[in-house]
Amino acid sequence: MENKWFTISAYSENSVGLLNRISGIFLKRHINIESLNVSKSEIENVSKFTIVVYTTEDWVRNIVGQVEKQIEVIKAFYHTDEETIYQESALFKVASTLLFDERNIQNIIKESNSQIVTVSRDFFVLAKSGRRNEIDEMYQQLKPYGIMQFVRSGRIAVTKSEMKISTLLKEFNQ
Amino acid sequence: METLKKERAASTKQSTMRISGAEAIIHCLLAEGVDLVYGYPGGAIMPLYDELYKFQDKLTHILTRHEQGATHAAQGYARVTGKVGVAVATSGPGATNLITGIADAQIDSTPMVCITGQVARHLLGSDAFQETDIIGISTPVTKWNCQVTEASDIPEVLAKAFYIAKSGRPGPVLVDITKNAQIDEFDFSYEHCKGVRSYNPYPKPDLDAIEQAADLINAAKKPFIVFGQGVILGQAEEQLKVLVEKAGIPAAWTILGLSAMDTDHPLNVGMVGMHGNYGPNLLTNECDVLIAIGMRFDDRVTGSLDTYAKQARIIHFDIDPAEINKNVKADVAVLGDSKVTLDLLLPLIKTNKHESWHNEFKERYKIEFDQIIKNDVYPTKDRLTMAEVIEEINIASGHKAIIVSDVGQHQMIACRYAKFKQTKSNVTSGGLGTMGFALPAAIGAKMGAMDREVVAIIGDGGYQMTIQELGTIFQNKTPVKIVVLNNDHLGMVRQWQELFFESRYASTVMVNPDFVKIAEGYHIESKRISERKDLKSAIQKMLASEDAYFLEVKVEKEDNVFPMIPSGASVSDIRLK
């Protein structure tokens, strides 16, 4: 079975130690977490883990089973890239002089659909959201001019299909 | 904690009283029906021990000689009673010493609550004396764990701990309680946990799946049942028996399923797995429908998955959704408590006999009897075999004893040859294979079943891993019977070295102490035998004793356990020699 990119979505309680419990499931199977994001979800007081792995479907099914088994996890899913709408965000910190000295920088900002978050005397910050390859492309374009700092978030994703967490919670509590 | 507070279910509320966190722990334990805990005191858990002292007429604390012993004793207690076992330890090394027992309980689905002391909240993260991150350490091997840093959280957390430990697929839970939380006072009231919103321990049975299962079973020509501990945990022994008898299906046990069905039942065809019986293993690859009930297709059961029961339709009954399709893909998966799902299945099952199929098991048994069992149980050679000792215990105890085995050759022999009439009678470390399990587990088993004979079968290697628990037996006058089958080797590893490492016996030869003298040091009546003529009387004398008794049996040093499926081989490649 071939390796593929999978996005795991896990709805959970917001409790101390759950991240450790979930990351341990990957550790035990020697599977790397490619990206991880934890945030609130569409349901009040329910958190959402978005985890990206590159592995086989057998393994991702096994992992999702174990994730869902954790007491504080309500439900976990896995999806392929085709089944999700996903993005990452990145911040680029670049020297302010470039904004004025290098005409091409302005083209890069325009063409990449990025936003200028702040401009100060010494530096300005660009924010870019999109697919990994778009962010990588912008990185490559800015690199020759010197990037002072760069950071990229984990993947965030929504699925094309429904997840029906509220219904599940109601069923559990019946 | 927010979630916990929301989870307070409506139930009879006790009137509140202002007490310390430590006293609250006692009241929680009593409310959960606990009357026995195993443990070992130390600095960070002293407030709780002070309360254990005050409440000793209501709650018995058994001082083991090592915290690992406390966990195994709690496991032994849980395995024979079906109740939650409780172990208590202090912070730091006390807590880390629990880990082996916790991991064992996790993989063998044993309900257990461990309570550890922790340094005071203001010292957390300061590397204080005996501070360790036991929550971090125990996370991968607990069903749930939680640190409590405020006294007022103790009732909710402990109620949740007991609920989680025993519900669904049982498992170990660890609650780490800081010293300040044990000392501080608060207004105590207790409510049993009735549910956790993110946790669904009893999946609703899928009636369609049950119908499909029944159709497959009714149409099967060569159906075969493999039952595991899920039958015992779900208290579905009677349902299993009815299914087997009604549909005429040969059934075999995994080592944790052993004793769920009378070993002498005509349709009970033996054990599956690496050292299981010849017929059940071989015919796994000839059945047309494999019905797995409360078992998890462990690699020691299946051998190579690529060649495991490929010809068969697989029906998998289990309570844990994560076990479905984990190792073996199920054609029909029936999720739920085994008693509930089997009860729904039984009315749909047609009466059948499958006599010629059953005869195939009998034929394989004959082969195994001639080539292995005869020589194991009725040997003609000089030295004693492990199997004849087990057989003598069977005879003398009338198949009524609880057998607690350790890990290794003697364990496989005990599980192959011990006879059981009653469920919850075989206590062994199956999944983790924890040497040192049996002696402390036997203490817990005896305390959980005082009216029954408890015989620990232990090898000379594993015995020395927790031999200090003889002190617990002596102090508490626990009448367990201890049989050490001494071959002066780490026998199972030696067997593998002989078969797969060209007899290079790397560190498997044991120079042993005088075990009888050691037992005598603990004032435990003891005896050593090495000849067949003394075996029967020695076993009879041991079982007749009203006190603890130690019997060392010197057995053949280089016997091997057969049949054997070599690691990673197919069940079809089971070896008789």
pTM: 0.95
| Partner residue opposite B197 with nearest CB, options A62, A68, A172 | A172
Pairing of strands B268-271, A73-80: unpaired
Q: Which residue do the tokens 């499909």 mark? A: B212
CB spacing of B3 vs A17 below 8 angstroms: no
Residue A163, CA distances (Å) to A68, A70, A89 in order: 14, 18, 24
Question: What integer best gives the mean pLDDT of chain B?
Answer: 96
In whole angstroms, give the CA distance from residue B256 to residue A144: 64
* A-B Cβ pairs (cutoff 8 Å, strict): 58
Through-space distance between the first and last CA atoms of chain B, rounded to whole angstroms: 58
- Contacts of B562 by beta carbon, 8 Å cutoff, 6+ apart: B275, B372, B575, B576, B577
In degrees rounded to 5, what are phi and psi of residue B256? -85, -15
- The verdict on B136 touching A (C-beta cutoff 8 Å) is yes
Strand runs labelled E in chain A: 4-12, 35-40, 47-55, 73-80, 84-95, 115-119, 123-130, 149-152, 156-159
pLDDT under 50 in chain A at which residues?
none
Tens of pLDDT, residues B477-510 = 999 999 999 999 999 999 999 999 999 999 999 9
Q: Active-site residue B492, yes or no?
A: yes
Q: Which residue do the tokens 């559990």 mark? A: A172
The predicted structure's pLDDT at residue B14:
52
| Partner residue opposite A71 with nearest CB, options B164, B321, B324 | B164
- The verdict on B3 touching A (C-beta cutoff 8 Å) is yes
Mean pLDDT of B134-156: 98
Q: What is the ipTM of this complex?
A: 0.91
Evaluate if residue B12 carries a pLDDT over 60. Answer: no
The predicted structure's pLDDT at residue B366:
98
Pairing of strands A4-12, A73-80: antiparallel
The predicted structure's pLDDT at residue A174:
60
Tens of pLDDT, residues B291-306 = 999 999 999 999 999 9
| Partner residue opposite A71 with nearest CB, options B136, B196, B325 | B196
Residue B172 bridge partners (DSSP): B112
In whole angstroms, give the CA distance from residue B38 to residue B263: 32
- The verdict on B125 touching A (C-beta cutoff 8 Å) is no
CB spacing of B321 vs A68 below 8 angstroms: yes
Give the 3-state secondary structure percentages of chain A, helix then strand then coil, rounded to 5.
35, 35, 25
Through-space distance between the first and last CA atoms of chain A, rounded to whole angstroms: 40
Q: Which two tokens stand for residue B146?
A: 């939680």
State how far residue B384 is from chain A, nearest Cα, in angstroms. Answer: 43
Mean pLDDT of B148-152: 98
Mean pLDDT of B252-270: 98
Spatial CA neighbour of B264 closest among B418, B131, B435, B431 = B418
Evaluate if residue B1 carries a pLDDT over 80. Answer: no
HSE-CB of B474 using CA atoms within 13 angstroms: 16
- The verdict on A63 touching B (C-beta cutoff 8 Å) is no
Q: Which two tokens stand for residue B111?
A: 């309900």
Tens of pLDDT, residues B17-70 = 999 999 999 999 999 999 999 999 999 999 999 999 999 999 999 999 999 999
CB spacing of B198 vs A21 below 8 angstroms: no
The single residue of B492, B497, B542, B550 carrying the catalytic annotation is B492
Residue A57, CA distances (Å) to A51, A86, B74, B326, B454 in order: 15, 19, 39, 12, 47
Chain A residue numbers with beta carbons less than 8 Å from the beta carbon of B321 are: 65, 68-69
The single residue of B58, B129, B310, B477 carrying the catalytic annotation is B129
Evaluate if residue B8 carries a pLDDT over 70. Answer: no
State how far residue A53 is from chain B, nearest Cα, in angstroms. Answer: 18
Mean pLDDT of B373-390: 97
| Partner residue opposite B139 with nearest CB, options A20, A171, A172 | A20
Number of continuous H segments (helices) and E segments (strands) in chain B: 25, 20
In degrees rounded to 5, what are phi and psi of residue B204? -65, 130
CB spacing of B198 vs A73 below 8 angstroms: yes
The predicted structure's pLDDT at residue A1:
83
- The verdict on A41 touching B (C-beta cutoff 8 Å) is no
Evaluate if residue B4 carries a pLDDT over 60. Answer: no
Tens of pLDDT, residues B417-427 = 999 999 999 99
Tens of pLDDT, residues B186-211 = 999 999 999 999 999 999 999 999 99
Give the angle B560-B562-B568 at the CA atoms, nearest 5°. 105
Residue B313 bridge partners (DSSP): B289
In whole angstroms, give the CA distance from residue B169 to residue B153: 25
The predicted structure's pLDDT at residue B9:
41
CB atoms inside a 10 Å sphere around CB A117: 12
Evaluate if residue B3 carries a pLDDT over 90. Answer: no
Q: In the structure, what pLDDT confidence band is assigned to residue B349 with cuts at 50, 70 and 90?
A: very high
